[in-house]
Amino acid sequence: MERVTGHVRKYAEQVPARIAARLADVLAELRDDPSFTEKLDGQLEAFRSAATRYAEPTWGAGQQAYGASLGVNDITLDWVTDPSVENCEDCIALEAGGPYSADDIPTWPKQGDTACLDRCYCVVQANQESWDAAFYGDDGE
């Protein structure tokens, strides 16, 4: 967990200065350019993307914490892809490879270890069979 929060903290400290410096450079370059607005919009979109990358690692940390809390009760995890997006091959393989224990899952959604990096739309959720066994007994009733 410290690795994730340390990365986020380091990135957070660097983002404002990077944005200000790059914006100043772009404004100086575009000052007399007739396509100024279009280019500025493109640069602002790039900044939005960078800011989103800073904010979203908390999703991965939240997924990891959720998995760890389920693991305390020996509940395994299913990696679930989002059917509304085109999922990367890594995430498809992770979904097919489950269920996982919280200790043996190879990574967590949005942690950047899959081909989709931090643009992952997957989630981990409690495996129904292990959930039933943990809370209703082995017979699921």
pLDDT digits (tens, 9 = 90+) for 6-44: 555 665 566 677 777 777 787 777 777 777 777 777 777
Q: Tell me: the pLDDT tens digits for 44-66?
A: 777 766 666 655 556 777 888 88
**pTM score, whole prediction:** 0.59
Task: Please indicate, yes or no, if residue 10 is contained in any of the structural domains.
Answer: yes
Residue 141 lies in a domain: no
Domains in the chain: how many in total?
2
Same domain, 66 and 126: yes
76 and 124, same domain (yes or no): yes
Closest CA to 78 of 47, 100, 109: 100
40 lies in the same domain as 96: no
Same domain membership, residue 37 and residue 76: no
Nearest alpha carbon to residue 109 among 48, 47, 66, 51: 66
